Amino acid sequence: MLTQNFYDLRVGDKMSTNNNRQLERYEKLEKIGEGTYGVVYKARDSVTKELVALKKIKLENEDEGVPSTAMREISILKELQPHPNIVGLKEVIYQPNEKKLYLVFEYVEMDFKKFLDQNKHNLTLSQIKHFTFQILNGLNYCHSRRIIHRDLKPQNILIDKSTGIIKLADFGLARAFGVPIKTLTHEVETLWYRAPEILLSQKQYSLGVDIWSVGCILTEMVEKHGLFCGDSEIDQIFKIFQYHGTPTVQDWPNIADLPDFKPTFPRFRPTPPEQFFKNFDKVGLDLVTKMIALDPAKRIYVKEAMKHPFFDDLNKEDLAKYFPPGQQNLAMQYGK
């Protein structure tokens, strides 16, 4: 529902309400995405001539105004601006009479899934390290503000092919840490990046759900295939257990309290990481196994992951461009 607070969700001074002329400055060029949320267009700003992504949010069933999901996404994006590894929100245009809401984003040409589909067999280890570091860097910025992304997957990451800059996107499922969380829907490909505590319907979960997803994405780049590729929720959790072994309370103290964990689950034996992962070196294997620890309390934190020896050979000067203006000195604590 639209509240007065909506009018405080400004991005710079670029918050428009009921302004047809403001919308008309954007020339739609082509549809580039569509989902339950609405439609995304590639568009051109007729004033600046720059390309933008114009996200139209569906409001048809919202008699009282803007849906809470859109409010949350706008609020979170506002909180996260600006950062080189998070998609830039330029403007919000709300037209209450027409029941239309548009989010204007910087245009980034490709999502990371498409990029990996085209390039994963040609990636160098240096590229993999830079991409992973940037994903972690964007997440670290989110987590430092107590925001969990919750839906991190290649489809929700953008890449500028000319610069190699990675940007986290699609914060529609993001939450402030500690806020009660509804059960997520489970599309098949989304399942592959979902942490086991989500699959087992834990009601309150932590920042560790995001680091699990990064481990899955890192594995996909190194191994050239998905980590755990189930075709249903139960198949997904069994594939995870086939690697980790079916957990006991010694492995994961509160496992028996999770709503969808069943004592009747098959008793899988763990697979040694050296047998399961074929292409990681010793240092990379250490990082990924810490990212995908079964018990979320045992997973590596994002900040720790950024300082892992896996990234030690990255140049500090190269890393500086991944930090906001005036904060490039933060790169000095990473790499060489």
Tokens 């489809």 -> residue = 155
Per-residue pLDDT of the chain (336 residues; tens, 9 = 90+): 333 344 444 444 454 544 666 889 999 999 998 876 789 999 999 999 999 999 998 776 655 567 777 788 899 999 999 999 999 999 999 887 777 899 999 999 999 999 999 999 999 999 999 999 999 999 999 999 999 998 999 999 999 999 999 999 988 777 766 554 555 555 545 899 999 999 998 887 789 999 999 999 999 999 999 999 999 999 999 999 999 999 999 999 999 999 999 999 999 999 999 999 999 999 999 999 999 999 999 999 999 999 999 999 999 999 999 999 889 999 999 988
What 3-state class would DSSP assign to 62? Answer: coil
Q: What gap in Å lies between CA 73 and CA 170, rounded to an integer?
A: 8
Domain 110-333: CATH class, spelled out:
mainly alpha
Q: Which fold would CATH assign to domain 4-106? A: Phosphorylase Kinase; domain 1 (3.30.200)
Give the annotated binding-site residues.
55
Distance of CA 228 to the CA centre of its chain: 18
Binding residues for ATP: 55
Give the separation between CA 241 and CA 81, rounded to whole angstroms: 38
Upstream peptide bond of 253 is cis (omega within 30 degrees of 0): no
Q: From CA 205, how far away is CA 149, in angstroms rounded? A: 12
Residues marked active site are found at 151
Task: Determine the longest span between alpha carbons in the chain, in angstroms.
Answer: 63
Domain boundaries, the chain: 4-106, 110-333
